[in-house]
C-alpha cells in the first residue's frame, strides 16, 4: 500500500519540472546550470486581438470587400499601417493600432493579433538541467536539504532563512526585511499583518488558524505552511532541518499542494549536485522503521516510528473499522492509529 509522503532531509536528490501552460521554446540545454528565477522556457503570443468590421464601419457592399482590404491573412503589420481603406470625399481608413499580424479576414471582418506578451516558466531553485521536455520546459535537479510542507500560496522566492523569536533577535523592525522568516504559529490576521508589515521575502509557518488563510491566499509574499491547520507544533524532524538551514540562502518554492501533480510546497537548501539517472522517486512502501507524522487528534503534528503493521483491520474510537499502524512517538508512547491518518516522512 503506498501512502501520503513528505520529503524531509539532507542530501536529497531533488528533481522538479518547470513547464509552460502552452507550447513554446525551451531556453536551456541539458547540463546547463540555472539560478533561481532563470527562465527555462517561454512562449511569445499576441498581447491582444482586435476584430474590425469593415463592412459596417465603411458602409460598403460585402460583395466588394476585397477592393478595400490592403493586407493578406498572415501578413505582419506595423503600427500605423493601413489595413483597409475606402477613398472618396469622406475617406475611411483603418490603421493597425500597434505592431502585429492579420490573423483572419472573413465575413467582412478583419482580425488582428496585436502586440506581444511573453509567458515564461522560471526555475524556482538553482540547479542543473537534466531533462528537456520538448516545447514545454525542463527538469532541473539539485542535491541538498529539503523540507516539504502541506500548503503554499503558489509563489516562490530565494533568501536568507531566519527564525522569528527572541532568541534570533528578529522581532526588531529591520530583523526580517528581505529574508525568509520561520514562524511557529499564526493565530490571527492582526498577527499576520505584524509579520507582513516588516516586509519579509517569504514566510514559513508551522501552522495557522483558518481565519488567516484568506489573507495568505491573497498575499503577494510567498508563504508556506509546514504541518497543517490548527495549533500544531513543528515536529522535531522539521525543527532540526530548519535549524540546519537557518542563516543560509534557501529557495522557498511555495507551490500549491497538488495531489494530481504530486507537488508540495518546499524549502530547499541547495548543495553540491551529484545526480543519479533516476528521475522520479520510487513508490515508498509503508514499512516498520519508517518515521511518520500523525494527522489525527490528539497527536496531530507529532512524529513517531512505525513499530508494527497489524494485518487485521481494527475498530477505532469513532466506531469505524480501519487498517491500523502501531507507532512509537518521540516521547516513547506507543499508539495505534489508522493507516490513512499518517504521512510517511522520507528522510
Q: Using CB under 8 A as the criterion, which residues of the chain lie in contact with another protein when the complex forms?
A: 1-2, 4, 17, 19-24, 43, 45-46, 48-51, 53, 103-104, 106-107, 109, 111, 113, 135-136, 150-151, 209-211, 213, 228-230, 257-263, 279-280, 283, 295-298, 300, 316-322, 337-338, 340-341, 343
Contact indicator for 133, 17 with CB cutoff of 8 Å: yes
**Contacts with 262 (C-beta within 8 Å, 6 or more apart), sequence order:** none
- Please state, in angstroms and rounded to a whole number, the distance separating the CA atoms of residues 268 and 83: 53
226 vs 245, beta carbon nearer another protein = 226
163 vs 293, beta carbon nearer another protein = 293
Residue 189, judged by CB atoms within 10 A of its CB (0-12, 13-18, 19+), counts as middle
Alpha carbon separation from 212 to 36, 140, 154, 282, 301 (Å, rounded): 28, 33, 16, 36, 19
- Please state, in angstroms and rounded to a whole number, the distance separating the CA atoms of residues 112 and 83: 10
- Please state, in angstroms and rounded to a whole number, the distance separating the CA atoms of residues 191 and 124: 28
Smallest distance, Å, CB 15 to another protein? 9
Question: Under the phi-then-psi rule, with left for phi > 0, alpha for psi from -120 to 50, and beta for the rest, what region is 308?
Answer: beta
106 vs 272, beta carbon nearer another protein = 106
For residue 296, how far is the Cα from the chain centroid?
27
Smallest distance, Å, CB 263 to another protein? 7
197 vs 317, beta carbon nearer another protein = 317
20 vs 176, beta carbon nearer another protein = 20
Contact indicator for 2, 283 with CB cutoff of 8 Å: yes
Smallest distance, Å, CB 316 to another protein? 4
Smallest distance, Å, CB 228 to another protein? 5
Smallest distance, Å, CB 339 to another protein? 9
106 vs 172, beta carbon nearer another protein = 106
Smallest distance, Å, CB 155 to another protein? 18
Amino acid at each position: 500500500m503506498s501512502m501520503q509522503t513528505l520529503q524531509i532531509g539532507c542530501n536529497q536528490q531533488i528533481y522538479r519540472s518547470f513547464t509552460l501552460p502552452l507550447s513554446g521554446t525551451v531556453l536551456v540545454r541539458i547540463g546547463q546550470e540555472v539560478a533561481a528565477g532563470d527562465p527555462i522556457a517561454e512562449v511569445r503570443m499576441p498581447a491582444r486581438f482586435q476584430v474590425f468590421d469593415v463592412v459596417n464601419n465603411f458602409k460598403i457592399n460585402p460583395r466588394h470587400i476585397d477592393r478595400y482590404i490592403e493586407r493578406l491573412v498572415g501578413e505582419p503589420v506595423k503600427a500605423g499601417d493601413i489595413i483597409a481603406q475606402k477613398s472618396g470625399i469622406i475617406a475611411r481608413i483603418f490603421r493597425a493600432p500597434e505592431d502585429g499580424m492579420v490573423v483572419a479576414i472573413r465575413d467582412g471582418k478583419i482580425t488582428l493579433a496585436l502586440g506581444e506578451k511573453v509567458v515564461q516558466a522560471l526555475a524556482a531553485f538553482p540547479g542543473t538541467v537534466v531533462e528537456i521536455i520538448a516545447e514545454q520546459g525542463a527538469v532541473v535537479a539539485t542535491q541538498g536539504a529539503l523540507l516539504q510542507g502541506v500548503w503554499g500560496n503558489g509563489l516562490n522566492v530565494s533568501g536568507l532563512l531566519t527564525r522569528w523569536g527572541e532568541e534570533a533577535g528578529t522581532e526588531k523592525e529591520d530583523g526580517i526585511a528581505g529574508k525568509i522568516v520561520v514562524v511557529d504559529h499564526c493565530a490571527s490576521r492582526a498577527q499576520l499583518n505584524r509579520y507582513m508589515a516588516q516586509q519579509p521575502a517569504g514566510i514559513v509557518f508551522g501552522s495557522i488558524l483558518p481565519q488567516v488563510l484568506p489573507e495568505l491566499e491573497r498575499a503577494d509574499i510567498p508563504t508556506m505552511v509546514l504541518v497543517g491547520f490548527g495549533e500544531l507544533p513543528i515536529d522535531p524532524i522539521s525543527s532540526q532541518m530548519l535549524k540546519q538551514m537557518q542563516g543560509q540562502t534557501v529557495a522557498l518554492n511555495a507551490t500549491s499542494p497538488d495531489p494530481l501533480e504530486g507537488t508540495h510546497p518546499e524549502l530547499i537548501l541547495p548543495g553540491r549536485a551529484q545526480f543519479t539517472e533516476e528521475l522520479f522517486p520510487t513508490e515508498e512502501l509503508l514499512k516498520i522503521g519508517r518515521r511518520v507524522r500523525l494527522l489525527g487528534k490528539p497527536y496531530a503534528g507529532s512524529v513517531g516510528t512505525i513499530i508494527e503493521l497489524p494485518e487485521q483491520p481494527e475498530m477505532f474510537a469513532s466506531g469505524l473499522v480501519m487498517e491500523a499502524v502501531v507507532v512509537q512517538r518521540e516521547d516513547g508512547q506507543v499508539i495505534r492509529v489508522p493507516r490513512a491518518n499518517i504521512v510517511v516522512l522520507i528522510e
